[in-house]
Amino acid sequence: MTFSIISIGYNLPVNTSKVYAAEKQHIAKQGETIWDIAKQYGVPIQQLKKVNDNENNVVIPGETFIIPTSISNSDKELLSRLVHAEAKGEPYEGKVAVAAVVLNRVHDDAFPDTISEVIYQDNQFSPVDDGSIKQPADEDSKKAVNEALAIQGYTYDQLYFYNPSISSSKWMRTLHVTKIIGGHHFAI
C-alpha cells in the first residue's frame, strides 16, 4: 500500500506501508549513522529503523527520518534525575548502565511495567528514599538516558546495581555480578 500525504510542516516518507505519529523529524547530515540519530533523540535503534523502513542501516545525507516517541518527556526526565542521583561521580558508561537497569526492569515480568513504577517501587533506589531524586539532572545523565534508550535490546541485560562500599544489603551481594563500572557492581 502506498500513501501520499501532504501536511503542513510534516512529511511522511513516500511508499511506506504504515503511517506513524511522530513528534519530530530529523534531516540526516553527512557522516551520521542510525546509531547517532537514535542516541540523539533517545529512541531504540530497532524502533527508529522500523518506523523509517530502514533495513540496511544506510543513512543518506538529506534523508528525512521520522523520530518516534519512545517514552514520555516526564519519564525521560525522571529517569535522568535518578541516573544523576545514583551515578553522580561515576563514569559515563556507569550512568548508561544505571539507566539500562531501570529500562530492563520495565521489560521484566518480575518488576512493574512503567519507568515511574519501577523507580518508585518500595526500597529499590536510595535517591527516592532520601529525596535526592528531586534534584535536576545534569547533561551527562540526560545523554546517558538517551544512549540507554537507543541500545535497548543490544547490551546491558542487568537488573540490579549496587555500590559495595556503601550498600549494607547482604541480599545484593548474593547476586551474580556481570559487570563492574566505577564503584557500581551490575548484576542479574
Domains of the chain, residue spans: 25-66, 73-187
Query: How far is the C-alpha of 33 from the C-alpha of 22, rounded, in Å?
Result: 20
| DSSP of the chain | ------BTTB-PPTT-SS----SEEEE--TT--HHHHHHHHT--HHHHHHHTT-SS----TT-EEEE---S-HHHHHHHHHHHHHHHTTS-HHHHHHHHHHHHHHHTSTTS-SSHHHHHHSTTS-HHHHHSGGGSPPPHHHHHHHHHHHHTTTTS----EEE-TTT---TTGGGS-EEEEETTEEEE-
pLDDT for the residue 2: 36
Burial of 122 per CB tally in 10 Å (0-12, 13-18, 19+): exposed
User: Residue-wise pLDDT tens for the chain (188 aa)?
Assistant: 333 333 333 333 333 334 445 469 999 999 999 999 999 999 999 999 999 999 999 999 999 999 999 899 999 999 999 999 999 999 999 999 999 999 999 999 999 999 999 999 999 999 999 999 999 999 999 999 999 999 997 887 999 999 999 888 899 999 999 999 999 999 99
Find where cell 519519564 sits: 75
Provide the pLDDT for residue 6: 31
Q: Say if domain 25-66 classifies as CATH 3.30.70.120.
A: no
Specify the pLDDT at position 178: 96
Residue 156 pLDDT? 79
The architecture in CATH of the region 73-187 reads Orthogonal Bundle (1.10)
